[in-house]
Chain A
Amino acid sequence: MSTLSTAAVLAQEVDEPTIIDDSGPIFDWGFAVDILPDMLMAFLQVTLVVTLVGTLIAAVLGLVIAILIMVLPGPLAWIVRWAANFIRMTPIVVQLIFLFWTFLWMDPMTIGIIVFGVHYATYMSEVYRAGIESVPKGQWEATTALSMSAMRTWRRVVIPQALRSTVPSLGNYAISMFKDTPFLFVISVAEMVTVAQTIGAQTFRYNEPITIAGLIFLAASYPTAVLINRLEKRLAYAH
């Protein structure tokens, strides 16, 4: 991986046994430019992939969980609800470490995607539940009066109307997940902050990599938040 080679070269430059304090300016722009490509690669190849695939899983699975809890017979619904609560109430770091050591044969990044997807699905299921409950009773009654099938009722009436109110919250959870990706370091996945840490450890320069990491996070979340905001407004006036 190029991260290591670059970092190794850089490490040599500061490898003299001097006091760390006066090893250079507080923020070395040249150094920042040098490490930027590696950090961007880590961002694109890991952070972004985990967030996008994780959000997709969470959004779909969350809806499935919400619907299952509503349509399954009592005891089964209780089991699903209990399982979702269990996942929601335990830290994501614990889940990452547990699955990593349980499924050692699995690719850590895949484990990361699954954990983030499932964990956030349990949050999103609550958002969907609230959205579904916000669909007026009269809408359900109209589907009965028209003899619409359960499938058609969910697909054409309930879900489209429920989604309208859930988009902002779902978007916020996607951003939360994005900001939680640094937890992947506990299972040795080289996402962006882990790479920043590694560069720091090898060069004794932390300010540049960690600042760049922060700025990349900001540069990605801010437009996403704006986008969600716009989408929310559009949905509000669409009907």
Chain B
Amino acid sequence: MPTPTEPASAPAPDTEETSGAPVIEFVDVEKRFGDNVVLKNLNFTVERGERVTLVGPSGSGKTTILRLVMTLEELTGGYIYIDGEPLTHREKDGRRVPVSKKEQKRLRTRIGMVFQQFNLFPNMTVLENIIEAPVHVLGRPKKEAVAKAHDLLGQVGLSDKADAHPTSLSGGQQQRVAIARALAMDPEILLLDEVTSALDPEVVGEVLNILRTVAETTNVTMLIVTHEMGFARDVSHKVMMFDGGHVVESGPPEKIFTDPDHERTKSFLSAVLGDN
């Protein structure tokens, strides 16, 4: 991996990284839980290498979007395309037809996710957590997977914790392992779901710095839900403001954070940013 050329605290989004092809495409997406419609007629695209942050009040459906991409929630309407291929359903003669499990799995292996609650496997060591999927899902040789795992642990500053059990680690350390575990799969798309919300304030910075470095040094597409507006501003190419399951407005972070068009965005930002 190339070394970061800029200070980790302020990587300017580099627009050259993105190419025109949409890597994630939402078409008329609808998500309902029973009678409760969370998302409706949602259309947006994320380009390859693009880093998009979803902001908005809680309950606005941001996390649901990530969970739909990770196939953790059932898509109740519309289509999601990954690299142009349907993730859950395809359109056939005007009807929604579910894609096969095999096809879905093939697409899903290109997507990684880091969760708010880390979700490391407590019955495995740190190293086992990281190599499980590369070895048993991607079929990589164990030796190679272990070497890569040690490499990644070095990057997240936990070289000495390979044989530790997750429960012996602090929250911040667990989340760093979770990041390494997701990156071990070489995902094209990385979903970050409020990854610092469960952390003590003093360790939020170290986790965000690691993610800044990942953003700078790789071309991975990121879909981010966060309350850390500073981080969002630093790493995102695009910020999408959500409310009530709709995109209120979207644009580059400089625009959204300093000069939003919509009243709803202004009031949300002043609420979360306080006096800033």
Contacts and interface: CB of A to CB of B under 8 A. Distances in A.
Chain A interface category by residue count: 10 to 19
The binding surface of chain A is classed by DSSP as helix
Given A145-B112, A147-B109, A139 B119 contact: yes
Contact of A138 (B115, B137, B165, B181): B115
A164 B132 CA distance: 21
Contacts of B9: none
Contacts, number: 63
B136 A142 contact: no
A146 B115 contact: no
Interface stretch (B120-128, B219-227, B240-248): B120-128
Contact of B105 (A138, A147, A160, A161): A147
Interface of B: 70-72, 105, 108-109, 111-113, 115, 117, 119-124, 132-133, 136-137, 165-167, 181-182, 185
A148 B132 contact: yes
A142 B119 contact: yes
A141 B72 contact: yes
Interface of A: 136, 138-139, 141-142, 144-149, 152, 156-157, 160-161, 164, 239
A144 B68 CA distance: 12
B133 A160 contact: no
A61 to B, nearest CB: 23
Given A148-B132, A239-B165, A239-B167, A142 B121 contact: yes
Of A146, A156, A164, A239, the most chain B CB neighbours within 10 A belong to: A146
B20 to A, nearest CB: 28
Of B124, B133, B182, the most chain A CB neighbours within 10 A belong to: B133
A157 B121 contact: yes
A156 to B, nearest CB: 7
A190 to B, nearest CB: 44
